[in-house]
Structure 1
Amino acid sequence: MQINKVFIKSCDAPSGILSSRFITKNGRKITLILSDSKLYRISDKGLKVTSLNSHLRFQIKPNKLQNYLILETDFLPKPIEYQFMDQPGMWEIMLKQKLPLMDYQKYYEIEKLIGSGSFASVYIGNSKADGTKVAIKAFLKKMLMLSDPIQWRQQIDNEVKVMKYMNHQNILKLYDVFENKAQIYLITQLCRGGNLEQAIKKLDEPLPFLTVKVIFRQIVEGIKYMHDIGLMHRDIKPGNILFRKPVSLKQFGLTVQDGPLISDFGVSSIIQKQLNVYQFCGSYGYMAPEIFACEDDKSKSYTEKCDVFSLGCLLYELTTTKPLFQGNNIKLLNKECNINMNKLLVDCFGNKQLINLLMKMLNPNPEQRIACSEVLNHPVMQVEYDEQGCPLFKDYKKPVTLSIQKPRQQMKSKSNAILPYTSRRNETQSFKRLSQVLPPIKRLSTEMHNG
């Protein structure tokens, strides 16, 4: 049903956190009261109310000596304007927590385009307040509507709600949200180091296992934080792991400060029995078996353990540089989830502790699958750092080995993981291959998930 009015009649007893007097365009005096989820309007014609949701957006605009509160929706041809009788005070601060702003150009300026796709473009921008570099992700509303007329708004709202709720060093930060008739803008932390999928494709041999652990631990810590506050990601894959800046992936080149950031929360959800956004969702090759059960039976559900399975797929790919599920029908292979132990032994270079962890993470039964805290506490995942946040071997400042390929002579780290020996002759070549810098984002690919 199309909404053609912002405010509708209400019998509620209005109460809120902010209250101010305004003058309408017709010269009538009104009172607006802001609560946690509603905006009340009191006039000589009675009480009206509107819900604070994404269909409504706002702007506080100074004009000569007056300030105006402007409200807009896609369903009205013109915005509504109310003139403040007093100073705007806390209105912009409080409304910003509940509604998108209309004009991003008041706060940010675009520097250049760094990525584009079917549904969105990504720009580098600058904050006009302090000059901070940011990423501006601009979604085309028309394209989102064409791709998913029913649920496009729900997915955007869900991503914004989840990102506003989170605050963790390994999770991409959302600063602001803007919207106009044509586009939605998400202002986020700038990541110029590309994503993990791009980094893996650039490698011509597996990463040193210590580097794998440093990267993977930080990803797991971010997902554990989500689980601890009652959220699950539901689309963990290399393409959704970003790097803050171009970094060297050679041994000991990656510090905690350069670590990865988890992004793309469009299908993230509260951990609950009845899922509220997309029961069947994710990316083939990384989806837990229990998610496939929801494709034909909407009464089925699952928990945050689905993320642990996806993390297991990611750990395998980080270790071997190839996906766990390969073949002509990735969906079927992922759904059947037949993992060959002998294949794991070969692919993981005989590292039995690593295989033990992978099997616990990739257990088809979610009730028997381990949690993120158990992943972090597993012996093979232990890492020791120096004062600069650089990972170290126990009792060694530099590694003897550069890779975990073709084990010959065993050497133990603090985690007791097997780190085999490579010859001096290959050492220089290995350094050159592993000292590549992650590429900048060349193209944004925004996937729309199955509903």
Structure 2
Amino acid sequence: MQNNIFEPATTDLNTIQKFQLHSKFLSKNNVPVEIMSYQNLLFKKSQKSFKMTKLNCTLRYQIKHESTSIILRLEKDDCKFKEYLFLDKSEPWELKLKSQIPQLDYQTYYELEKLIGSGSFASVYMAKRKADGIKLAIKAFLKKMLIQKDPDKWRETIDNEMKVMKSLDHTSILKCYDHFENRAQCYIVMDLARGGTLEQGLKKLEEPLPFLTAKVIFRQIVEAIKHMHERGYMHRDLKPSNILLKRPMVLKQFSLIAQTDPNIVVSDFGVSSEIKKDMDIGKYCGSPGFMAPEVILCETNKNLTYDEKCDIFSLGCILYRLITNKPLFNGQNSLAMKQQNKECNLDWTKIHEELYQNQALTNLLSKMLSQDPRQRPSCEEILNSKILQVQLDNDGCPLFINYKKPKSSSIQQIKTARPSIKSISNSKLPQLSPNHFTFNNHNNNNHNNNHTNKRSGNFLLPPINSRLQTEQSQY
């Protein structure tokens, strides 16, 4: 095993005008050294030598706070570790290194509580952050399995996912807090999504979602992808199984959740990529049934290119799934599905009927699923489309527009017999939000009091067969 964490420097010190960090240390042999950082490079200078190393996922660190000293430990898989005693403040180095390379010992900061999921390459644990007790998720990858799957690019995949997640900051994107690694495993600390995947939620339903619910969910997904595109990244593998629910809930009640606290989070950035002008990616990646045709063509022609509009096609497939609860491409196997996805020969007469015969909705979906990426709308244009607007009350909760107030009855009666809610015109009834619905209190023998209904329960949702009755009259 070679002790080669630092190699002879190939960069001249005179070419570096100013280091980002420059501190004094003592080596294990009490030899004074200086360690400096500049962009993605780390330099070590002593009286006898000047060496350097790159800050990437192959290098790991730990800052150990001992009783009388603070020690910086550096390690690589093929090297012996190196330790240096801080003679200056350690806080700037903690911030710098944490943002660029993985840490060594997650147990210093987190306590595993239970296993919540596992697969061929990784396991997910619920964990508690020791500093404040907050519950988070830790995804542990077994490096041996990753190397067997892709010996040349497994490191690039992990490095890329970390880079993308740390570059994004949005309420509807899974947040990465820490990245740890040792010789056997890689660990990603992220938000705990207790509600499972959107795919799991849709499979539990026996009927399509109410249109208002579908709109609320879809807008949160589009907002997340809009943020990605603005930060210069495209996802490239959007599908319901890569979209998570922060909290467990019945999807049909989703429209009762305030927009100020979104429940949807987009995850899985392993194949995400930077958006560059004149891109030459030509990489086949994604999931059949949700892939843009130009991405599928890259499987046989590596010279083809594509851009972030591939995500718009995937969003179109997700929108159709949310409204109909059926896959857009439903081949008998993955090969047949991929062929349908590639050819994209859709029966728009049938789709128009499935979209409540609403022309505005059909037009929007047809643009999103255009085989010509240039014809697809941007995320901003999708969010501004009239058919996908959601009116909110003062609490940020979606308004139930034009639905008749149910007759007064007890809460118990409402739970056992859902009332019929019919649509009426704007001229007869002002816009109502869920907290405007009132019920008689039969428990009071002296008089009846009206009680404001809390935002829970499916009885406030319009009947399935009239979900778009109002919207059709408006567009």
Q: Which residue of 2 aligns with 1:232?
A: 234
- Which shifted more, 286-295 or 82-91? 82-91
> Which residue among 387, 400, 411 is the counterpart of 2:469?
411
Deviation of 1:255 (Å): 3.1
Percent identical residues: 51
Paired residue type of 2:377 = I
3-state secondary structure, aligned to 1:81? strand
Q: Which residue of 2 aligns with 1:215?
A: 217
Q: Which residue of 2 aligns with 1:330?
A: 337
Paired residue type of 1:142 = K
Distance 1:248 1:400 in 2: 23
Distance 1:200 1:275 in 2: 35
Q: Which residue of 2 aligns with 1:48?
A: 51
Residue by residue, what CA displacement relative to the aligned partner does 1:312-353 show, whole Å, maximum 9, x if unpaired? 000000111111000221111111111111220232232222
Distance 2:88 2:108 in 1: 22
Residue by residue, what CA displacement relative to the aligned partner does 1:222-242 show, whole Å, maximum 9, x if unpaired? 111111121111110000111
Paired residue type of 1:6 = I
Number of aligned positions between the proteins: 414
Q: Which residue of 1 aligns with 2:42?
A: 39
Deviation of 1:249 (Å): 2.4
- Which shifted more, 271-280 or 244-253? 271-280
Deviation of 1:140 (Å): 0.9
Paired residue type of 2:90 = P
Paired residue type of 2:71 = Y
> Which residue among 386, 390, 393 is the counterpart of 2:393?
386
Distance 1:183 1:352 in 2: 52
Q: Which residue of 2 aligns with 1:430?
A: none
Structure 1 unaligned segments of length 5 or more: list them.
418-451
- Which shifted more, 204-213 or 275-284? 275-284
Q: Which residue of 1 aligns with 2:456?
A: none
3-state secondary structure, aligned to 1:394? coil
> Which residue among 343, 349, 356 is the counterpart of 2:350?
343
Runs of 4+ deviating beyond 4 Å:
273-278, 395-399, 401-407
Q: Which residue of 2 aligns with 1:85?
A: 87
Distance 2:35 2:56 in 1: 17
Q: Which residue of 1 aligns with 2:205?
A: 203
Distance 1:197 1:286 in 2: 13
> Which residue among 412, 415, 422 is the counterpart of 1:400?
422
On the 8 A contact 1:382/1:415 being kept in 2, the answer is no
Distance 1:88 1:278 in 2: 44
3-state secondary structure, aligned to 1:139? strand
> Which residue among 9, 12, 31 is the counterpart of 1:28?
31
Distance 1:414 1:331 in 2: 34
Deviation of 1:397 (Å): 7.8
Distance 2:30 2:364 in 1: 70
3-state secondary structure, aligned to 2:65? strand
Distance 2:107 2:140 in 1: 13
Distance 2:288 2:34 in 1: 53
- Which shifted more, 317-326 or 3-12? 3-12
Deviation of 1:89 (Å): 3.7
What is the RMSD of the two structures over their aligned residues, measured on CA atoms? Answer: 2.2
TM-score using structure 2 length: 0.83
- Which shifted more, 223-232 or 277-286? 277-286
Paired residue type of 1:412 = T
Q: Which residue of 2 aligns with 1:317?
A: 321
- Which shifted more, 226-235 or 251-260? 251-260
Q: Which residue of 1 aligns with 2:263?
A: 259
3-state secondary structure, aligned to 2:474? coil
Paired residue type of 2:72 = L
Deviation of 1:415 (Å): 9.0
Deviation of 1:63 (Å): 3.3
Distance 1:57 1:129 in 2: 22
Paired residue type of 1:321 = N
On the 8 A contact 1:362/1:369 being kept in 2, the answer is yes
Q: Which residue of 2 aligns with 1:288?
A: 292
Q: Which residue of 1 aligns with 2:19?
A: 16
- Which shifted more, 257-266 or 354-363? 257-266
Distance 1:52 1:120 in 2: 25
Deviation of 1:170 (Å): 1.0
